[in-house]
Structure 1
């Protein structure tokens, strides 16, 4: 192969890396402070409550299990002075133990970590006896705003490195033809894949420190302390270990002479690597867990095969200009694989959207939903380019005759095929560039809250009630802001231990008072065992929330809860 062809082979790599840099810029611009995926659904006492006697504890109930970081809860009196208090988390309930003899107004500032690793913070005020006439706003450490942009950039780099490493590994093992003619190209693919693996490993390690800094509200100097690197959760450490082991395994396949062994090694490594994002992703917070986690894995794998395969295809097409037949064979093989990849992405993406997006309101009314729509548009554009390549340009390349009565005719046919391959290679680069931007959007999506609920519950007055449902379940209902007008209604089905449980069918929720029957309120799945609806309450007083739940063909327990609306 000539020196010119070698330069052509590498010429595609800077172009795609330049597009990756542009995607990093887009992601940094889109990055917002990390939004939690847990929601506060009830407190005792309620926000703004005035209680007669000093409570022994304050409880916070969330819609999913939470954990406590360092300095998770701080209690302040009306003068802004700290009050000694201890906090403990048990599944979805945080209990703050208070000293005795309290009087006046108090503020409880809290910060917890949701099941998917994202922090959520807020405050609760209540009074004992009577509100204090004079109150000083306590000084509470704000969430670290500096970490949002670097964490988003690191996530883009991580996904890009992961997709390049896995995608090029699969391309080399399952698409690239065998033979000594492609040994140099295989070496190029292996080197680029290993560069991607190295980038993914560095980004994964960096993400651990940045994530802990986000969770523990550390300042930038905190990254230089052991606290930022020893505070990772077990899930985070497992995810990093899987990713490192996976990409290193994929990169080791080039030393194997047997194609079957290479495919086995790449398959095992790719499986381990693509499991890593699902271990810490937000999809695991939505039920059923086995379905969304498995679907998340089956979404990442074809995505990496698509993007990494396009990069590999661009390298091969640029490196086989003097041998168009090799490029045609590789292109045909990849086109066959790409059809299955697109189908897998469509199915898995549809399932994830169905489980994670709770309603049309969440799809069009949240940052997550709007970014998801942008991602869908870009994927559709990339699919359009892929379809043009497959059904328009590929037949032109494979259908061109290379035989002729004279050497000149054969040369002209080969030259025409080479020109068509060059055109197709340019479109492949465009397709890969679109997918890199999609990757940037994906990295931002993981820090957005998929659903809009919980905000009113966490910041306004919340009224709470619960009642037994059947022999072993409990129904919990909350309404926020608990006043006349529009209220966010959350209904959670709990087991005997107070944990939310998945049900085969959503509950039927009806709302009525002595004077007005509002009928059934539509509810959508909010999280495991938790359902959300919106109801407009026309008058104050006692409102009865009837909850019925079909458990089987013959079992349909019904209970009624009373909420007092002001």
Structure 2
């Protein structure tokens, strides 16, 4: 194999590796607590026993939430609907009217709402009137999250970021750095491809938001669902983005074809800045403790990324291959200063973002969001080191005479930043660390949590509050690939051999295909043996046992 084919093979292998990495990031399974708002309290409280039927059930969330039509239900012990009329929403407080004349026994409250950052929040709990009974089954409500839709949302986010890079880089370089003698055809095609990707990703976001918030499949969309999305801040931001993209076309066309006037360039820059604001207005920053600061900082972060990565793409793909030494001597010092400014803005904006979204140093290590952010910082540090090497070559005026070392360094920067884009697409779908730690900690809430293994599945077991009296049990089944595993039938018993207490059946209610919930009263303290049997097919089942310390 000659040198040239070897180089192309190495580049192809590197590209394939990057693609696998990005896809792995995009399809990484969400944790069991993937909502971006948390249910802080309820009245009646979860698993509580009240002497008489309440006239309303009140849910209090950590941030403002909106309605998902038909997804808040209260089921009476006999299986009938106990809620009366539509729930009312006031910020993070949801009030559900209930028939107070309902019978004694256990009631099931299931909910799915939309948090202020446009992400769905779903869950269920029970309370009992008079005395507990077998929990009812809500056969008319399905709050499961469709994994195909979840993955499609991440892919759409990634394509939107990639399109922004492909659009900003060529537009900026063609407007200010492109040599007149070189053909503009390649960069122009790249810019139109980027604009098309942003538009397609925006339309995909609008479509996917309907099943994403309602809990359906890719084509489970309704007029009511679209009306709800278009009437939200998320929908408004995306519609404004489409309008701004359409307006930009008329100014972008002459700029890509030939050098344009300063007035047109300024107007186009203003439209671009306004377009950048639509991303944070539709996500986490709009729901942060300091929304004005978060929105501006996130837009600066996104714009700096597009300038830096888009400029690198233009260098590697066009200028370092086509420009001569005299042209590179003029272009590279200017680009080096631009890149330094973009990187400085990235670092500053990223620091402010981290302080707002992470809140505490411990959350960096204790939350999925924090760990993803640490990985992004580590990759970014690698990119900074490579960029510093390139800048030294430019300062020594070596790059214009021998562009090959700079080209290699630029490709390394591009390769790593592609993975950073994948991490960013996953981060915007991950619960912010400030929210993940907003609820009571496991120690404070008395939550017992463990992961059990069997030949068929991995079982996540959560018992709360792990004290004498009423306890709630949540079971989550996962396959060996760590993806949610559908369970056909659940069985569970609890026993305390040291006190001579024989196994007690735990009534279980399947909430989704891999998640079951139950209530049980544990009368004594000690190490209870919780035995769970999950049947995954007509013939395949396995049993695992957890030792649960009850105080």
Say yes or no: TM over 0.5. yes
The within-5 A match list for 1:290-439 is 290-320=292-322, 323-392=324-393, 394-397=395-398, 417=401, 420-439=402-421
Tell me: higher relative CO, structure 1 or 2? Use CA pairs within 8 A at least 6 residues apart.
Answer: 1
Residue in structure 2 matched with residue 453 of structure 1 by the alignment? 437
Q: Deviations over 1:38-59 (max 9, x none)?
A: 1212211111222222211000
Q: Aligned partners of 1:218, 1:174: CA distance in 2, in Å?
A: 47
**TM-score, structure 1 length as denominator?**
0.70
Matched residue SS, 1:392 = helix
CA contact (8 A) 1:69 1:112 kept: yes
Pick one of 147, 150, 162 that aligns with 2:149: 147
The within-5 A match list for 1:237-316 is 237-248=235-246, 249=248, 251-252=252-253, 253-255=255-257, 257-316=259-318
The within-5 A match list for 1:125-274 is 125-132=126-133, 134-139=134-139, 140-141=141-142, 142-177=144-179, 180-182=180-182, 184=183, 186-223=184-221, 225-227=222-224, 229-233=226-230, 234-248=232-246, 249=248, 251-252=252-253, 253-255=255-257, 257-274=259-276
Matched residue SS, 1:220 = coil
CA contact (8 A) 1:456 1:481 kept: no
Q: Shift of residue 24 of structure 1?
A: 4.0
Q: Aligned partners of 2:78, 2:440: CA distance in 1, in Å?
A: 27
Residues 148 and 431 of structure 1: CA distance in aligned 2, closer, same or farther (over 3 Å): same
Residue in structure 2 matched with residue 96 of structure 1 by the alignment? 96
Q: Shift of residue 145 of structure 1?
A: 2.8
Matched residue SS, 1:172 = helix
Q: Deviations over 1:72-109 (max 9, x none)?
A: 21111224343343312111110110113122221111
Q: Aligned partners of 2:177, 2:239: CA distance in 1, in Å?
A: 28
CA contact (8 A) 2:211 2:219 kept: no
Residues 229 and 73 of structure 1: CA distance in aligned 2, closer, same or farther (over 3 Å): closer
Q: Shift of residue 247 of structure 1?
A: 4.3
Number of paired residues? 433
**TM-score, structure 2 length as denominator?**
0.72
Task: Answer with 134-143 or 34-43: which moved more.
Answer: 134-143
Residues 342 and 257 of structure 1: CA distance in aligned 2, closer, same or farther (over 3 Å): closer
CA contact (8 A) 1:246 1:268 kept: no
Q: Shift of residue 19 of structure 1?
A: 7.8
CA contact (8 A) 1:75 1:109 kept: yes
Residue in structure 1 matched with residue 486 of structure 2 by the alignment? none
Q: Shift of residue 435 of structure 1?
A: 1.0
Q: Aligned partners of 1:121, 1:46: CA distance in 2, in Å?
A: 17
**Which blocks of at least 5 consecutive residues in structure 1 are unaligned?**
1-10, 401-416, 463-479, 485-565
CA contact (8 A) 2:77 2:103 kept: no
Q: Aligned partners of 1:324, 1:299: CA distance in 2, in Å?
A: 33
**Which blocks of at least 5 consecutive residues in structure 2 are unaligned?**
1-8, 447-463, 469-550
Residue in structure 2 matched with residue 540 of structure 1 by the alignment? none
Residues 315 and 83 of structure 1: CA distance in aligned 2, closer, same or farther (over 3 Å): same
Q: Aligned partners of 2:294, 2:65: CA distance in 1, in Å?
A: 20
Q: Shift of residue 259 of structure 1?
A: 4.2
Q: Shift of residue 360 of structure 1?
A: 2.0
Q: Shift of residue 214 of structure 1?
A: 1.0
Q: Aligned partners of 1:107, 1:457: CA distance in 2, in Å?
A: 25
Q: Aligned partners of 2:373, 2:159: CA distance in 1, in Å?
A: 19
CA contact (8 A) 1:48 1:125 kept: yes
Residues 362 and 205 of structure 1: CA distance in aligned 2, closer, same or farther (over 3 Å): same
Residues 161 and 145 of structure 1: CA distance in aligned 2, closer, same or farther (over 3 Å): same
CA contact (8 A) 2:83 2:96 kept: no
CA contact (8 A) 2:376 2:423 kept: yes
